[in-house]
Structures are given as C-alpha cells and as structure tokens.
Structure 1
Amino acid sequence: MYPRITNQIVLSALEEQAAVVLLGPRQVGKTTLALELADSRPSVYLDLERDADRQILAEPDLYLDEQAGMLVILDEVQQMPGLFKSLRGQIDMRRRKGFRTGLFLLLGSATNELLHQSAESLAGRVRYIEMRPLQLDEVGRDRLNDLWLRGGFPDSFQAASDRASLSWREDFLRTYLERDIPALGPRIPATTLRRFWTMLAHAQGGLLNAAALAEGLGVSGQTIGRYLDLLVDLMLVRRLAPWHENVGKRLVKSPKVYVRDSGLVHALLGLGSLESLLGHPVVGGSWEGFCLETLIAAAPSGTEPFFYRTSVGAELDLVLHLPEGETWAIEIKRTTAPKVSRGFHLAVEDIKADRKLLVYAGERDVPAADGLRAMPLDAAVALLRNI
C-alpha cells in the first residue's frame, strides 16, 4: 500500500467542514481511504450499491438520528439521489447539538449528477475533493516508467507483471462499459462507446474534432458531445479548455481531449509493454497526457488548467492559472534535450507568463535563457507541491 496524499486532504477537510464529498472513478481507492478513516474514529459505513444498505436508509432520518456524533460514510451516494435533502436537515440538527464538523463523508463516481444533487441541498455545508489515481510522488521517481505504462489505478499499478496489469485494465474497461455506465442510465451500446473511447486514445492530446469522430462512428455531432460529456463526468476523460484571455489573437477555440489515465490509453490500444509503447505513434501524446495529469494533480487547489495555441504557431501544452494569480507556462517533451521552439516563446509573451518550465525526459534541472527552467517531471511536481 502506498500512502495517499488525498488521505491528509480529506482529514483536514473533515476538521473544517460538516460534509466532504470525495469524487473519483471506480477502483481509484476511495473506499480504501474511507475504511481507513472508519478504523480511526467512531464511524458507520454504508455501501449504497448493496440492497441491504439501501434498505437501512429507507427511512433515512430514523436511522441517521441514531448516528449523531459518528462519522457517517456513504459510498456510491449517487445511487440514492433523494438522500441529499435529508442530509441537509441532519447536518443542521447536528450543528444545533454542537457537532459542527466531520459529520458525513460521501463517496461518488459520477460527478455531474452528484454535484448537481449536493450543490442545491448542501450549499455552504460541503467541500468537494477529487481523488486521483496514484501519483508520481506517492510511488517514487524510480517507478516512473511503470506508472506511465500501467497507469495509476492501484490494482493495475501493483499487479505482479505487465501482463497481469493489462488484463486488469481490460477487465476494468469491460466492467465500465457493460455494467457501470448502463447503471447510470445512458443507453449506449458498449461496442460503440468502446470504439469512441479507443478513437480518443489514438488521438490522445489532439484537438477535439467532433465531425471526424461522428463520421467514424456513424452518429451525429450531438451524439459525440453526449458521449464525451459522459466520460468527462465519470472523470475518465479530460476536456482541456483553450486559454481565452488574449482577445487580440486568433486563438484555437476547440478543446484538447485526453484519456486521463495513461494506463487506460495503453489498454485501449493494446500496448502491454514499455517496448510496444515506445514504438507506437501515440508515445508522444501518451507522455504529454501523463505529465499533464501529474502536474495538474500537484498544483494547488483552485488552479485552472488550459492550453494555448494560435493560428500563427504560438503554442503551450499546459497553462496553469494559480489561485493567487500567477500564470505558469509549461512545455512537455519526450526528449532528453532541454530545448523549446520559437512557438513556446511567442506564447509566453502573449500570455505574459510569470514562470516558464520545460518538463522533459532528462534527469537534471537546467536553467536556460529568458528565465526558462528545464526539469524532470518529479522536480516540477515538487515545485508545484511546495507553493
């Protein structure tokens, strides 16, 4: 087991807020974290995917009234959307009795629906935290290639071999397509959604071309939007927005799209070893997506990520707008040579970046001209964590 950074974030949030909503895709470690918390304090845990646990909450107020003073953990809470109104009353009742923080921990794997339900009912009473797959600073720099190849889902990363890891990810994809997504309501054929997901993996880090995707699948552009919204809501795909503050430039306005876990990219493309990955055309996009997700995860809470591209060739792989107002320009390259293009310098000038980084595959932190620093991924992560 690797110590998870999210554990401490959740502990701190429970000390400050009445309810915490922990979001993340299935199998990312939310339940493991919750059960560790349950062992450390008076708690009750209910898994709302189990009929028996849902029956316990058939009359939620009767049951929850008896749990005052306990941390109530509700797993897969989106399974009971009507519960949120009861939770609001329960939080207010507990506050009157002097219990103000650490009352409820809600786990969910469907963001849009869950956020909509809780935002209306629990406004001012809840904090949202995203739990991501294993991160580089959790597993160590020496496991970087394993993390890139296998992805960060704990069972995939910790598998006994690359073959066993790939088998786990293939089962994960099948379960999502055949059971989990249909359970959320959308009636999408599993084979169609699998093809769509695979097309996104082939184009990892490319601009969204809904027309080309629609033609390839034989569906409408609106249907492509619906498929993409679903995978984004499940935190399996990232739609990275273009930087939009430079109104005087002819900016690219389409978002870039990434399958968020690199291991899933490789499973969708049948890449089970580092050798097969390094020889595949997706290697550059896969490395970019892996670094991008790692850097966004390491950035302070409230950071907004973008990319920047203009019609005249100015381009940045990642722009981080930090909560205190700083803007970081980041180029990502799968190379050992710490060099950036002229387009990088043009883009930095356009957005007036406060810091300029090149994240590359070398091992040294190298200062370059014009305030640019080239560094390996783990050094960039440490820089962001220490803000």
Structure 2
Amino acid sequence: MIRRRIENELVYLISESPAVALLGPRQVGKTTMAIDIGNTRPSVYLDLESEADRAKLSEPELYLASHSDKLVILDEVHRLPNLFQVLRGLIDRNRRAGRRVGQFLLLGSASIDLLKQSGETLAGRIAYLEMQPVDGLEVSPDNLDTLWLRGGFPDSLLASSDRASMRWRQDFIRSYLERDIPLLGPRIPAETLRRFWTMLAHHQSGLLNAAEFARSLGVDGKTVASYLDLLVDLLLVRRLEPWHANVGKRLVKSPKVYVRDSGIAHALLGLASAEQLLGHPIVGSSWEGFVIETLIAASPDGTVANFYRTAAGAEIDLLLTPPGQKPWAIEIKRSLTPKLEKGFHLACDDLQPQKRIVIYPGREPFPLPNEVTVMPISAAGRLLLDQ
C-alpha cells in the first residue's frame, strides 16, 4: 500500500467545501482513496458504472436527499452528467439547513463533460483536486528507477515483474483507446489515436509541430489539435507552455509535449526492461518528463510551469514560478557528472531566477559555480513542498 501525499489535501478540502471533484486518469487510485476516507465517517459510495447503483439514482433527488447527513461518494460521475443540476439544488438546501461542507465527493476521469457540467452548475460550490500517478517523492530512492521504468499507476508499479507490469500497461492503453475515450470524448478511431499517442511518446519533450503530426496521420492541423486537447484534458499528456514574459528576446512560441506517465510512454515504445530503456534514444527525454511530473506535483498551489528557449539558444528545461516568487530555473540531466551548457547560463542572465537547480540521478547535493546547486529529485521536491 502506497500512502498518497494528496490524501491529506483531499481530507482538508472535504472539510472546507460542499463538494469536491477528484479528477485523474483511470486506475490511478481515486476509488481506493475515496473509500478509505469514506470509512472514517458516515458515507455512501455509488459506482455509476454499475447498473445497480445507477438504478438507485433513477430519482436522484429523493435518493440523495435521504443521505443528506452523509458524505456521498459518486464514482465515474461523468456517466450521469444531468446529475449536476440536482446536486446544485441539494447543496444549496443543505447549506440552508446548516450543513455547509463535506456533502459530495465526485470522482471522474477528467472528462471534458465533467469539467464543463460542474463548471456551469456548481460554480462556487465545488473544489477541484487532480490526482496524478505515484511520483518520485512517494517512493524510496531505491525504488526510483523502478518507478521511472514502470510509471506511477499503482497496479503497474507494484506488479510482480517487469513483464507483468508491461502487460498491465498494454492492456490499460488498449482499454483506454477502445472503451474509455469513446465514453469520455468525441468518437476518434482507436488506431488513429494510438498512432498519435505513440508519436507523442517518440517525440517526448520535443516542441509541438502540429503540421508534421498532421502529415504523418493524414489529417489536418485542426484535427491534430483536437486529438492533443483530448489527451491533455484526460491528464494523459502534458503541454508545457513556453515562458512568455517580455525579456527583449525572440522566444520560442511552440509548447513542448510529454506523455505524462513515463511507464505509459515506455509501453507505447515497447520498452519493457531497464536495459531496453537505457539503450533507447528516448532515455534522456523520458527522464526529463519523469522529473518534470514529480516537481510539478510537489509544487505549491498556483505555481506556473513553463520552459524557456530563445532563438539564440538560451534554454531552461523547466521554470517553476511559485506564487509571489521569481521563477526557479531547473535543468534536468541524466548523468552523474552533469555539465551545463552555455545556454542555461545565458537564460539565467535573462531571467535572474530565484534558484538555479540541476536535477541528476545521484543521491547527494553539491554546488556548481554561478549559484547552481546539483541535487537529486527528492531534495528538489522537498524544497518545493516546503514553500
């Protein structure tokens, strides 16, 4: 059992808000966490993919009103989008009766419909929390390479072998493409979307070139944009936007794209073992994406994540700007003896960041010239958690 850092935040939000939406990809552990929390208080759990549980909500207002003294957990809530209008009325009625918080916990696979519906009808009544796969701060340093190879989905990470983990991820990808995405978004041919997802894995950490993807898929640029939007909304792909402040430089304007879970990226590329991964050209980009996901997950609420690149070659892999602070410049190296290129120093001269950090796969922090600190991912994550 892996204790998730996000659990304390979820408990806090339930104590502060009438409704909380816990969003994240399937199989990331949302249901397990919700049931654990439900066991600590009066609660009722409904899985809306179950015919029996959906039948209980044939008259949703009557059923939910009869449980107004409990935390009602609604799993896969996107299956009943018309429910949100009912929830609004019940929340307001409970508020007038003096029960202002801890009424509903909504679990969803981050569908566009879920975000749209809850945004329209529960504005001011709902808090959102995103649950990501297990990250590099939630395992011991000895297990970090296993987490990087297998990814952070619990069933993949805790599988009995690399082979079993790979099989789980292949089945996950197949079921997402053939069953889940058609339920959550527009109808897209599963094979086309799989090719696009695989192209993104090959392109890990690269600048988005929609025209190139469109030519490869035989579709137009707008279609590629819609495919990417869908995978981003489902929290399967990250679109890292470029830094856009006016620094008097010609800045790169295209975003960088990452398959968010490293294990899914490796499964799309057929990399089942550490030996295969370390011998593949994607190894550095995969490590970069893995580190970025961990550091963003550790960042305080309101932190803005970007990268920085100018036409002249100044570049920083990750800029994290916590609320009220100057950006942190973070360079990511898959080497025990990391060497910084001139472009990083030029970029720091442009931005004058608050911290200059190099992440490497070693265990001990050490300083470099020009106020740069080399540190493992765990040390950088703890710095961010303390903000």
Provide the C-alpha distance between the structure 1 equivalents of 2:214 and 2:338, rounded to a whole number of angstroms.
39
Structure 2 residue 262 is matched with structure 1 residue 262: yes
SS in 1 for 2:49: coil
Question: In the alignment, what sits opposite 1:15?
Answer: 15
Partner amino acid, structure 2, of 1:351: L
Asked if 1:86 corresponds to 2:91, the answer is no
What pairs with 1:13-162 in structure 2 (closer than 5 Å)? 13-162=13-162
- Matched-pair contact (CA < 8 Å) for 1:306–1:319: yes
The SS at the match of 2:329 is: strand
Letter in 2 for 1:382: R
Contact 1:246 1:350 in 2 (8 A): no
Larger CA deviation: 49-58 vs 39-48? 49-58
* Correspondence 1:210 to 2:210: yes
Q: Which residue of 2 aligns with 1:227?
A: 227
Q: Contact 2:112–2:185 (CA<8 Å) still a contact in 1? A: no
- Once the two structures are TM-superposed, the CA of residue 294 in structure 1 deviates from its matched residue by 0.6
Instruction: Give me the whole-angstrom Cα distance separating, in 1, the residues matched to 2:131 and 2:343.
Output: 34
Identity among equivalent positions (%) equals 61
Structure 1: segments with no counterpart, 5+ residues: none
Unaligned runs of 5+ in 2: none
Alignment match, 2:361 = 361
Name the SS for the 1:344 alignment partner. helix
Q: Give the residue type in structure 2 aligned to 1:52.
A: A
**Partner Cα distance (2:360, 2:347) in 1:** 18
Matching residue of 1:239: 239
Mapped contact 2:211–2:221 kept (Cα < 8 A) = yes
Cα drift, residue 184 of structure 1:
2.2
Is 1:283 the counterpart of 2:283 in the alignment? Answer: yes
SS across alignment from 2:257: strand
Once the two structures are TM-superposed, the CA of residue 24 in structure 1 deviates from its matched residue by 0.2
Q: C-alpha offsets along residues 344-382 of structure 1, whole Å, 9 cap, x if unaligned?
A: 111112222111110012222111222211101111111
- Structure 1 distance, partners of 2:21, 2:325, is 27
1:303-318 correspondence runs (5 A) = 303-318=303-318
2:245 is aligned with what amino acid? E
What letter is aligned with 2:174? R
Runs of 4+ in 1 over 3 A off after TM superposition: none
Task: Tell me, yes or no, if the aligned pair for 1:111 and 1:235 is still in contact at 8 Å.
Answer: no
Check whether the contact 1:246–1:351 (CA below 8 A) recurs between aligned residues.
no
Aligned match of 2:385: 385
- Following the alignment from structure 2 to structure 1, what is the Cα–Cα distance between the partners of residues 343 and 23? 37
1:243 is paired with a residue of what secondary structure? coil
CA 1:345/1:185 → structure 2, altered by over 3 Å: closer, same or farther?
closer
Q: Which residue of 1 aligns with 2:179?
A: 179
Q: CA deviation at 1:325?
A: 2.7
Instruction: Give the structure 2 partner of residue 342 of structure 1.
Output: 342
Shift of 1:144: 0.4
Shift of 1:246: 2.4
| Structure-1-length-normalised TM-score | 0.98
Q: CA deviation at 1:224?
A: 0.5
AA matched with 1:140: S
Partner of residue 321, structure 1: 321
Q: Which amino acid aligns with 2:29?
A: G
Q: Whole-Å Cα distance in 1 between the matches of residues 253 and 275 of structure 2?
A: 35
Q: Secondary structure at the match of 2:68?
A: coil
Q: Report which stretch shifted further, 183-192 or 307-316.
A: 183-192
Structure 1 residue 126: deviation in Å?
1.2
Q: Secondary structure at the match of 2:134?
A: coil
User: Which residue identity lines up with residue 107 of structure 1 in the other structure?
Assistant: L
Q: Which residue of 2 aligns with 1:251?
A: 251
Residue by residue over 1:23-64, the C-alpha shift from the partner in whole angstroms, topping out at 9 and shown as x without a partner, is: 000000000001111211100111111222222112211111
Deviations 1:258-315 (A, max 9, x none): 0000000100000000010000000011000000101100111111100010000000
Deviates more, 1:54-63 or 1:211-220: 54-63
Between 249-258 and 131-140, report the one with greater CA deviation. 131-140
For 2:255 and 2:150, how far apart are their aligned partners in 1? 26
Tell me, yes or no, if the aligned pair for 2:22 and 2:105 is still in contact at 8 Å: yes
Count residues with an aligned counterpart: 387
Shift of 1:247: 5.0
Contact (CA 8 Å) 1:111, 1:233: kept in 2 or not? yes
